[in-house]
Amino acid sequence: MAPHDIRRPFKRAAISDQQKRRELSLLRQAQNRRDAQQQARCLASSILSLQSAAPESQPEQSDTEIETVPESEQESEAFSKDLDVRQASKLRGPEVRKWFARQLMLPEWMIDVPDRLAQDWYVFARPAGKRCFVVSSNGTTVSRQRNGSILHHFPSALPAGAKIRDGSGSAQSYCILDCIFHELDQTYYVIDMVCWNGYSLYDCTAEFRFYWLNSKLEESGACNAPSHYHKFRFSAVPVYNCDSSGLYSAYTGVVPYAKDGLLFYNKHALYQTGNTPLALVWKDENCSQYVIDTDGKGEIPSQQQVVLELQDDRKLVTSDDPPVLFGCLDGDIIEKSGLHTGNLLRFAIGDGGLSFADGKLEKADLIYLGKSNRARAFADSYSKVLFQFMVRHSPLKIDDLLASINSANDQEKTPSDIEMVG
Amino acid sequence: MEVTQVLFNAQSIDGTVRKNAEESLKQFQEQNLPGFLLSLSGELANEEKPSETRKLAGLILKNALDAKEQHRKFELVQRWLSLDATAKSQIKACLLQTLSSPVFDAHSTTSQVIAKVAGIELPQKQWPELIGSLLSNVHQIPAYAKQATLETLGYLCEEVSPDVIDQDQVNKILTAVVQGMSASEGNIDVRLAATRALYNALGFAQANFSNDMERDYIMRVVCEATLSPEVRIRQAAFECLVSISSTYYEKLTPYIQDIFNITSKAVREDEEPVALQAIEFWSSICDEEIDILEEYGGEFTGDSDVPCFYFIKKALPALVPMLLETLLKQEEDQDQDEGAWNIAMAGGTCLGLVAQTVGDDIVPLVVPFVEENITKPDWRQREAATYAFGSILDGPSPENLIPLVNVALTFMLSALTKDPNSHVKDTTAWALGRIFEFLLGLAVDLPIITQANCQQIVTVLLQSMKDTPNVAEKACGALYFLAQGYEGEGEPSPLTPFFQEIVQSLLTVTHREDVGDSRLRTAAYETLNEVVRCSTVETAPLVLQLVAVIMMELHNTLESQKLSSEEREKQSELQGLLCGCLQVIIQKLGSSETTKYAFMQYADQIMGLFLRVFACRSATVHEEAMLAIGALAYATGADFAKYMPEFYRYLEMGLQNFEEYQVCAVTVGVVGDISRALEEKIVPYCDGIMTQLLKNLSSNQLHRSVKPPIFSCFGDIALAVGEYFEKYLMWAMSALQSAADLSTHIAGDDELVEYTNSLRNGILEAYSGIFQGFKNSPKTQLLIPYAPHILQFLDGIYMEKDMDDMVMKTAIGVLGDLADTLGNHASSMIQQSVSSKDFLNECLSSEDLLVKESAQWAKLAISRAISV
């Protein structure tokens, strides 16, 4: 039994560079394997969702900018087969506008109170600001507004959101967030999460998406103060169950941002692109500066204004699917103003207002004002026109919402089956 | 057979005679194992035989019972166990008899053989009388018999695990051993043998160390032995203390003051081998406390299995001066001698560990020593001061250290250029390296390196690379950490302006005439690698230029011909460094699209060079070249297909290299890289690769650590080739199933648990790859028959409760993949499994990000599968 060697490394690094190279190789291989698996798992499903989210490319043919180049239609058809959000973030021009405009979930305006508000819905105060999609991929982050124009191009702490480290970051990783950019504190308030780190959340319920949003966003460091690699702060918004206390908190609670109404999300609804009645927006003067629509100069026009789309047969319709007919435009106006099918046109609602029969719009007193701003991608939705109309005439008040929750509570208390205990 | 003569011949100086003798021994062993062992043990026991042949007989016996290679060892054990019982008991009787032989060679070899037999038989509950008869020997009169018996007990404790021997016998062994150690034992050899035996027996003494009286007794005897007049006994006794410090740390409180007195006397006055052990005692206490405190830091609860007694913190005021004293006892040329280990080195190392243990508290105790000695005329004082400063840089808080460093830096830079003593310069360069290693890249108000001093630092380091080889090596080391300090910063590094100059200087170092005799060349290439790894976008064009330079160097190594074996070894080593450097460059340039594109112009040439490096050897492949090819495959992607026809044979060769299992493991990893790069283009090579991988799995000669990566590699291939994997499905699944069965019901030490987890991970990655590979193919139904077993496997590992986060993540991912690929075919199976409920829920609420993510994936996939 010889003496035991007790030599320790002296003036030496504890690990050899060869061992380091081996380990770095293993690390890279493990990362690549993860990427390959993740790609197999996720990309397919998110591409599927994106495709199915954009099946109705037909109505969009009305977009003149596209129609003028007939081949591009086919191209974009083929293109959409391999469409991947990361490629989408590289799209240019009208393609972008078209693509992104279709990807956001657009809440309808609340024109009546849904049932089971307290059980099935969330509520939160909507930040005032620019609604946008934030896509992080390949070491950079891009935010695009509803019309597809780029708001910011910046590094962020979102997964794949900045170029850091030695490229070991996953190439397939990307995120898509549904955000509102709040100018005052230069913060992106995340109101929904569509994809996170390569995982598609399109097929997930709002309940799950909000849970995921709250846990992931914080973990990623995206909520940290801005720094060199993280130019803008992200923040989640407080979301409440829409019972009376939740509704009250969302309505009156102090938040770090200026409120622009309340958003209601159905807990069981998947992320559905385009207009959906499973997300609703409601506002009054207490929780929004912008209850009544303003014109281009920021002033409230004396008459309500609406934007409608001109169809083939001179029909004026909303952006809903199916579109709601508001009336027909005189042939001579079309000729005089050089209007085309698909143009978005601005109208005022005259003293005749809107008249309804059996809960359906029967007649609208429309006064033609001119073409709408080119930056607009869509006509107004039916619910928006109606909400604005109600605001000017007989608004839906917060008390109505609270009352509806309370009366539902009363109903809950009505006798149900009694369990026998003998 | 006349064994004595053959054994004589086996030691002949005549090669032919020796070879013949060895051959006939081998034949004897193969044809008649019991006869062979019996005659060897007879030879060993026969007092009339010469001691040389008895000793050799003993050694051959020992080698017939044990081997280094696991599979060979297993074979030998099985052979012994299946031997005829009569033969075995005859052999064992011979052995016990020989233990009392007065011939030293005979009894000392025998004690080792007995321990080997015990190592095989005791775990099988055989040879129950062994320990009893050994213990009765202890009371024999001849001291040599007593000594041999105590040695046997020591070896035996080394050989068998504590749970094999019952406490009653443990008590008796310890009593005999400790009695043999005590001062009343008059014979020095007996006392030494007992002390060394205790070293091995300490692991058996758990119960005895919990008993105050017994522990006091053992500790008293050990401490007394450290005062023995015989230096070997003192050394062995300190070795026992070192072992006790880690095994029974929590029992040391009552003795620590005495131990401090003993060790500090030994450090100051005793002979070096003893003093080194005495210092090691404190280093070992530091190791323990660092581990405990690290665990404290990791857990917020603060309840660790072992409480920290802060022995180091308490001993600090006396311990640090003692260690500082040792620093002044340097040897003249210790920096030139790779194998040197002396009291100054041990003391300095211990000081560094103390700093890590106590942090800030050490600073005021060391700084006065540094200040007092750093400018003294005696180089020993300047070196000791510098070493002391360097060794406390890891541990105390940066806030505490940075002001000191800012003061010291200018002085150190000037010492590195101007000090007349090479030893001082060596240590100064090392200490600068420590500053960069521990104090760069921190978010502090006062950074150590500024635009102002960066130029000077770089200039001094590059200048020192022209100094003696040992100083130059440390300067390279300092530069390594300087570069590392700016890794991943992204912002223009302050080193960027010097990049060209640094690279040029490092290349110059690699061409120094005296570079071959030291680690210098390796250090220069390692530093070059780190400089490349940490380089920024601005210097990418310069890294690209480096490709051609390193390629030329590699090309030059291939030109020399007719090399001696020593030259060949040097060539291979240099090729390793150059391939390593190319690997780092490829990985760097391959990580961004623009640089990758520019790099691709060299891909053909580089691959050509790698193939030539492979061709330099006949039977093995070069590990570094293989690693570099993995990086190249990743960078080139599908284009790598064009290299496959030529490369394939080396790939196969690498997979067949069982001896150098690292090479095999690296090659398996490269197969994964190539699969991902080539995707379905790998199909033509799959037959060969899969056959070899399956062969490797069934071999018991391949190091087990390679098997998990082989399974992962199945997954890589399946994912790459999709339903084409059908061809191998049956074989792969059956290999996976049997490995899966093996990896569930296990119990064992941490190492086994860790291995099992890596095995599970490999198996699970294979399943993931196979499921994802078959997804959306018309052949998914082929996988349905395997689903029940896989779900059972998942349930099984969940029940075992010993998986780590990695396995958890992969396992729950497999559940998702299974659901995703099989859809409603598997929905009822999935719903019945525990994994889809408890396991999934547990993963969903996991703290680990990756686990949670995989679980979300699984949840999603399952809900889809069920809803369809």
DSSP, residue by residue, A92-117: -HHHHHHHHHHHSEEEEE-SSPPTTH
Question: What are the DSSP E strand ranges found in B202-281?
Answer: none
CB contact A28 to B (< 8 Å): yes
Taking each helix axis from N to C terminus, what angle separates B726-742 and B750-774, rounded to the nearest 10 degrees? Answer: 160
CA distance A316 to A331: 12
Give per-residue pLDDT as tens, B431-469.
999 999 999 877 666 778 887 889 999 999 999 999 999
Give me the CATH topology for the region A34-109+128-239. Answer: D-amino Acid Aminotransferase; Chain A, domain 1 (3.30.470)
Angstroms from A75 CA to nearest CA on chain B: 26
Check pLDDT > 80 for residue B57. Answer: yes
Selected residue with higher pLDDT from A143 and B273: B273
Which range (A169-173, B422-426, B535-539) has the least confidence? A169-173
- The Cα of B23 is separated from the nearest Cα of chain A by a number of Å equal to 31
**Residues A62 and A341 sit within 8 Å (Cβ to Cβ):** yes
Q: What is the pLDDT of residues B205-219, one digit of tens each?
A: 999 999 999 999 999
Strands A187-196 and A150-154: unpaired
CB contact under 8 A, A37 and B768: yes
Tens-place pLDDT, residues A116-168: 888 889 999 999 998 888 888 777 788 887 766 778 888 888 888 887 644 43
State whether B669 and A165 contact (CB < 8 Å).
Answer: no
pLDDT of residue A13: 62
Q: Decide if pLDDT at B476 tops 90.
A: yes
pLDDT of residue B746: 65
Q: Please give the CATH architecture assigned to the domain spanning A292-404.
A: Beta Barrel (2.40)
| pLDDT higher at B376 or B513 | B376
Structure-block tokens of residue B532: 């490349």
Inspect the interface and report whether the beta carbons of B197 and A203 lie closer than 8 Å: no
Mean pLDDT of chain A: 76
Residue B764 has pLDDT above 90, yes or no: yes
Average pLDDT taken over every residue of chain B: 90
| CB spacing of A22 vs B666 below 8 angstroms | yes
What is the rounded distance in angstroms from the CA atom of residue B690 to the CA atom of residue B717?
9
DSSP 3-state assignment of A2?
coil
Q: What is the pLDDT of residue A164?
A: 65
Q: Least CA distance to A205: which residue of chain B?
A: B860
Minimum Cα–Cα distance from B490: chain A residue = A164
With contacts defined as CB-CB under 8 Å, which chain B residues touch A207? Answer: none
Average pLDDT in the A2-10 region?
76
Q: Which amino acid is at A282?
A: W
What is the band of B714 on the pLDDT scale with cuts at 50, 70, 90?
very high
Please say if the pLDDT value at position B335 is more than 80. Answer: no
pLDDT, tens digit, for every residue of A333-365?
Answer: 888 888 888 888 999 998 888 888 877 788 888
Residue B620: pLDDT band (50, 70, 90) is: low
| Confidence tier at A67 by pLDDT (50, 70, 90) | very low
pLDDT digit string, tens, across residues B819-860: 988 988 888 899 888 888 899 999 988 888 788 888 888 888
Residue A48: pLDDT band (50, 70, 90) is very low
Nearest to B588 among A16, A166, A219 (CB): A166
Structure-model confidence comparison of residues A237 and A293, the more confident one: A237
User: Which positions in chain B touch A160 (Cβ < 8 Å)?
Assistant: none
Give the residue on B whose Cα is nearest the Cα of A17: B526
Residue B153 has pLDDT above 50, yes or no: yes
Q: Does A150 touch chain B (CB under 8 A)?
A: no
CA distance A7 to chain B (A): 6
The pLDDT value given to residue A167:
42
Residue A357: strand, helix, or coil: strand
Cβ within 8 Å, pair A228-B491: yes
Instruction: Tell me the C-alpha to C-alpha distance, in Å, between residue B799 and each of B738, B793, B796, B833, B854.
Output: 18, 10, 5, 12, 19
Higher pLDDT, B203 or A4: B203
Angle at B247 between CA B244 and CA B248, to 5 degrees: 70
* Residue that wins the pLDDT comparison between B441 and B185: B185
- What is the distance in angstroms between the Cα of B395 and the nearest Cα belonging to chain A? 16
CA B254 to chain A, closest CA, distance in angstroms equals 26
Q: Which of residues 38-77 of A touch B (CB under 8 A)?
A: 40-42, 44-45
Mean pLDDT, residues B161-186: 90
Q: Which residues of B touch A37 (CB under 8 A)?
A: 719, 768-769, 772, 813
The pLDDT of residue B372 is 96
B570 band by pLDDT with thresholds 50, 70 and 90: confident
Contact of B591 with A167, CB cutoff 8 Å:
yes
Predicted confidence at residue B452, as pLDDT, reads 81
d(Cα A384, Cα A401) in Å, to the nearest integer?
18
pLDDT over 70 at B310, yes or no: yes
Whether residues B239 and A41 touch (CB distance < 8 A) is answered with: no
Subunit contact A33:B273, Cβ cutoff 8 A:
no
Give the whole-angstrom CA distance, residue B816 versus residue B861: 5
Q: What is the CA radius of gyration of chain B?
A: 32
Question: Greater confidence, B282 or A276?
Answer: B282
Cross-chain residue pair A41–B235, CB shorter than 8 Å: no
Question: What mean pLDDT is predicted for residues A106-111?
Answer: 87
Residues of chain B in contact with residue A203, where contact means CB-CB under 8 angstroms, are 860, 864
Quickly state the pLDDT bin for A22 (edges 50, 70, 90): confident
pLDDT, residue B706, reads: 93
Q: What is the DSSP string of A186-239?
A: TEEEEEEEEEETTEE-TTSBHHHHHHHHHHHHHHHTTTSPPBTTB-SEEEE---
Identify all chain A residues contacting B200, using CB atoms and an 8 Å cutoff: 1
Query: Nearest residue of B to residue A9 by CA position?
Result: B349
Q: Report the helix count and the strand count for chain B, using DSSP H and E.
A: 42, 0
- To the nearest 10 degrees (0 to 180), the angle between helices B188-201 and B231-247 is 10
Task: With both helix axes pointing from N to C terminus, report the angle between B520-533 and B469-484 in degrees, rounded to the nearest 10.
Answer: 10
Instruction: Tell me the percentage of chain B whose pLDDT exceeds 90.
Output: 69
Domain boundaries, chain A: 34-109+128-239, 292-404
Residue range B215-232, pLDDT digits in tens: 999 999 999 999 999 999
Task: Please determine, for residue B867, whether its predicted confidence score (pLDDT) is greater than 80.
Answer: no
Confidence of residue A56 (pLDDT cuts 50, 70, 90): very low
Distance from CA of B121 to the nearest CA of A (A): 22
Partner residue facing B341 (CB), from A7, A37, A163: A7
In the block, which residue shows the tokens 């030695």? A166
Beta partners for residue A356, in sequence order: A361
Mean pLDDT across B548-569: 88
3-state helix, strand and coil shares in percent for chain A, rounded to the nearest 5: 30, 30, 40
A32 to chain B: which residues are within 8 Å by CB? 634, 672-673, 676
Nearest to B669 among A29, A163, A212 (CB): A29
Among residues A373, A271, A383, A387, which one has the least CA distance to residue A323? A383
> Is the CB of A1 less than 8 angstroms away from the CB of B196?
yes
Which two structure tokens, joined as six digits, stand for A222? 């995206």
**Contact yes or no for B590 and A25 at CB 8 A:** no
State the complex-level ipTM. Answer: 0.72
The per-residue pLDDT for range B775-806, each reduced to its tens digit, is: 878 888 899 999 999 999 999 989 887 888 88
The pLDDT assigned to B695 comes to 93
Residue A40 has pLDDT above 70, yes or no: no
Please indicate if any CB of chain B lies within 8 Å of the CB of A167.
yes
Indicate the range of B78-87, B197-206, B707-716, B737-746 predicted with least confidence: B737-746
Compute the nearest-CA separation of B328 from chain A (Å). Answer: 16
Query: Is A340 an interface residue toward B (CB < 8 Å)?
Result: no
More confidently predicted of B748 and B642? B642
User: Is A163 touching B (CB cutoff 8 A)?
Assistant: yes
Q: pLDDT value at position B488?
A: 67
Are the beta carbons of A4 and B239 separated by less than 8 Å? yes
Pick from B6-10, B54-58, B139-143, B152-156: least confident: B139-143
Q: Is the pLDDT of residue A97 over 60?
A: no
Sort out which chain B residues have CB atoms less than 8 A from A228's CB and list them: 490-491
Q: Which residue of A has its CA nearest to B666?
A: A22
Residue B391 binned pLDDT confidence (cut-offs 50, 70, 90): very high
- Among B66, B62, B46, residue whose Cα is nearest residue B3: B46
- pLDDT tens for B659-689 read 888 899 999 999 999 999 998 899 999 999 9
A322 prior amide bond cis, ω within 30: yes
Would you call B568 exposed, middle or buried from its count of C-beta atoms within 10 A (0-12, 13-18, 19+)?
middle
pLDDT of residue A271: 82
Q: Is A268 on the interface with B (CB under 8 A)?
A: no
Q: Taking 80 as the threshold, does the pLDDT of residue B285 lie above it?
A: yes
B contact test, residue of A11, A204, A208, A213 with most B CBs within 10 A = A11
In whole angstroms, give the CA distance from residue B37 to residue B79. Answer: 12
Q: Do B197 and A1 touch (CB under 8 A)?
A: yes
Least confident of A232-236, A350-354, B325-329, B428-432: A350-354
Which range among A15-29, A305-319, B295-309, B480-494 shows the weakest confidence by mean pLDDT?
B295-309
| Choice between A24 and B402, residue whose per-residue pLDDT is larger | B402
| CA torsion, ordered B588, B590, B595, B597, to nearest 10 deg | 160
Find the residue in A nearest to B592 (Cα): A167
Q: How confident is the model at residue B868 (pLDDT cuts 50, 70, 90)?
A: low
The Cα A349–Cα A365 span in angstroms is 6
Say whether B591 and A167 touch across the interface (CB within 8 A): yes
Spatial CA neighbour of B138 closest among B84, B178, B183: B178
